[in-house]
């Protein structure tokens, strides 16, 4: 007859498993890939004396406790799409590392986790909205816009930032906000053509809504495919495609509505700024991005450097391969840099990859393609949806090749865990001679 489980031990296990699930949820919300979440939660469980198997998807975290007399399975629902907060992400990484080293009890870890996840903002809302606008203006300059394109992109970016932060309280409207921001942003960009001197509405529109481009979704999906989290990676990339489509549908809907009352604004030639000025503006955009991402001060030079790195590599490849350059090479360099950066304590590869990937996003080509389909003249020969898909595919492939090197901390830990699990399985399997 088996002995009854002591009530105190059961309560301790309940509290530990609940904390492990909350830790998985917090790491998921901080843009840690699925295999990274699983490795960190598994190591935390071992530090507290539990053998736990962990499985995560974009909306679900499951733990199976394998130690003790009986197995137990628990699960926790997860929000699908997280939000940028690099300060919170760094604190979570440091907490998970402290737990795995045995420096935190369950009670101490619970108190620290609750403090990290408590709602508090590093910056006032108006500053975040302004940062969205400043970054939008920087992107407009990067894609060849002049001063008036920057002004219009600033206005559209502030509007997009307001929509983005205004919907954070509800996790059910994340997908719809892409449509809403693109719809209202397009109407605002078209409306500004009656107020401002002649400017290119397409460049201003893309600059203003570029922070809604799902760059981080593509990054994590690519990493998860390479890290053998295929289910999570495919669903994440599918979601990224839906975000792209929502942006396109929003632009198309606004253009259709505008066309009911008058002709669409004609394409005008933008007076691109001098190269040296563009570099300075892009760097200022990187500073604004640190506010949008709620980054720590120590992350600021890294984020600005990532923005300039991605833009610089793309410009260099243009000199060799032509006007469009090589998004694949740029994404590969960015992926390698991000993985190396993540090997520092409390650092995520997304701190470098996401800001850099936004510099390579193919959304401007897609914006021009949609406007061309609506009948706006002068969008150019490359304004084709097929061109958008080719650029997006190159970005994904570049990241895939970079992640295949396995340079990041989470990738190396995931490989080591799989090797150890395979060895344990072989040792546990009885031989034929026994």
Residues 167 and 314 in one domain: yes
Residue 88 lies in a domain: yes
What's the rounded Cα separation, in Å, for the pair 151 and 199? 10
Share of the chain above pLDDT 90, in %: 12
Residues 274 and 408 in one domain: yes
User: Secondary structure of 171-193 in the HEC alphabet?
Assistant: CCCHHHHHHHHHHHHHHHHHHHH
Q: What pLDDT, on a 0 to 100 scale, did the predictor assign at position 362?
A: 57
Looking at the DSSP bridge assignments, the partners of residue 75 are 62
Q: How many structural domains comprise the chain?
A: 2
What's the rounded Cα separation, in Å, for the pair 178 and 167? 11
Residue 140 lies in a domain: yes
Residues 103 and 217 in one domain: no
Share of the chain above pLDDT 70, in %: 79
Instruction: Name the residue among 295, 404, 387, 394 with its Cα closest to residue 339.
Output: 404
Work out the average pLDDT over 378-404.
Answer: 69
Q: CA-based Rg of the chain, rounded to a whole angstrom?
A: 24
Residues 129 and 243 in one domain: yes
Taking only the tens place, the pLDDT of each residue in 137-166 is 998 888 888 899 899 999 999 998 888 776
pLDDT category at 386 given cuts 50, 70, 90 is low
Residues 222 and 80 in one domain: no
Residue 242 has pLDDT above 90, yes or no: no
Residue that is last in its domain, among 93, 119, 145: 119
| Angle at CA of residue 254, ends 250 and 260, nearest 5° | 150
Q: What is the mean pLDDT of the chain?
A: 78
Instruction: Name the residue among 189, 164, 190, 194 with its Cα closest to residue 176.
Output: 164
Residues 160 and 293 in one domain: yes
Residues 373 and 279 in one domain: yes
Work out the average pLDDT over 92-116.
Answer: 90
Residues 93 and 156 in one domain: no
What's the rounded Cα separation, in Å, for the pair 422 and 414? 12
Domain that holds residue 58: 10-119
Residue 5 lies in a domain: no
Residues 115 and 43 in one domain: yes
Residues 131 and 56 in one domain: no
Taking only the tens place, the pLDDT of each residue in 27-78 is 888 878 888 888 888 889 888 888 888 888 777 888 888 776 567 788 878 7
**Ranges 225-239, 297-311, 411-425, most confident:** 297-311
Residues 38 and 134 in one domain: no
Residues 264 and 223 in one domain: yes
């Amino acid at each position: 007859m088996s002995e009854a489980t002591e009530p105190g031990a059961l309560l301790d296990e309940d509290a530990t498993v609940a904390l492990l699930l909350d830790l998985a949820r917090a790491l998921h919300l901080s843009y840690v890939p699925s295999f990274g979440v699983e490795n960190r939660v598994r190591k935390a469980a071992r530090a507290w004396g539990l053998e736990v198997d962990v499985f995560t998807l974009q909306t679900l975290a499951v733990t199976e406790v394998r130690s003790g007399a009986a197995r137990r399975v628990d699960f926790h629902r997860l929000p699908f799409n997280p939000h940028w907060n690099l300060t919170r992400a760094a604190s979570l990484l440091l907490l998970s590392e402290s737990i795995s080293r045995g420096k935190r009890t369950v009670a101490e870890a619970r108190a620290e986790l609750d403090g990290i996840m408590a709602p508090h903002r590093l910056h006032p809302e108006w500053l975040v909205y302004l940062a969205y606008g400043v970054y939008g203006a920087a992107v407009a300059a990067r894609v060849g816009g002049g001063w008036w394109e920057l002004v219009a992109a600033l206005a559209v970016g502030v509007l997009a930032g307001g929509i983005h932060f205004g919907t954070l309280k509800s996790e059910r409207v994340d997908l719809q906000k892409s449509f809403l921001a693109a719809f209202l942003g397009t109407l605002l960009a078209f409306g500004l053509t009656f107020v401002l001197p002649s400017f290119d509405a397409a460049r201003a529109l893309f600059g203003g809504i570029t922070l809604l481009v799902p760059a981080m979704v593509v990054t994590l999906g690519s990493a998860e495919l390479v890290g053998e989290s295929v289910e999570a990676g495919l669903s994440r990339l599918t979601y990224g495609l839906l975000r792209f489509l929502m942006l396109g549908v929003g632009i198309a809907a606004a253009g259709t509505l505008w066309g009911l009352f008058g002709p669409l604004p004609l394409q005008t030639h933008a007076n691109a700024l001098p190269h040296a000025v563009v570099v300075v503006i892009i760097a200022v955009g990187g500073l604004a991005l640190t506010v949008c991402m709620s980054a720590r001060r120590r992350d600021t030079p890294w984020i600005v450097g990532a923005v300039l790195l991605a833009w610089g590599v793309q410009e260099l490849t243009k000199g060799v391969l032509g006007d469009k350059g090589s998004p694949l090479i740029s994404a590969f360099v960015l992926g390698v840099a991000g993985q190396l950066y993540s090997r520092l304590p409390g650092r995520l590869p997304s701190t470098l990859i996401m800001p850099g990937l936004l510099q390579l996003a193919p959304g401007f080509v897609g914006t021009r393609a949609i406007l061309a389909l609506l009948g706006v003249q002068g969008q150019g020969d490359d304004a084709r949806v097929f061109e958008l898909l080719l650029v997006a595919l190159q970005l994904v492939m570049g990241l895939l090749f970079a992640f295949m090197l396995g340079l990041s901390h989470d990738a190396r830990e995931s490989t080591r865990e799989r090797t150890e699990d395979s060895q344990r399985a072989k040792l546990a399997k009885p031989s034929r001679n026994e």
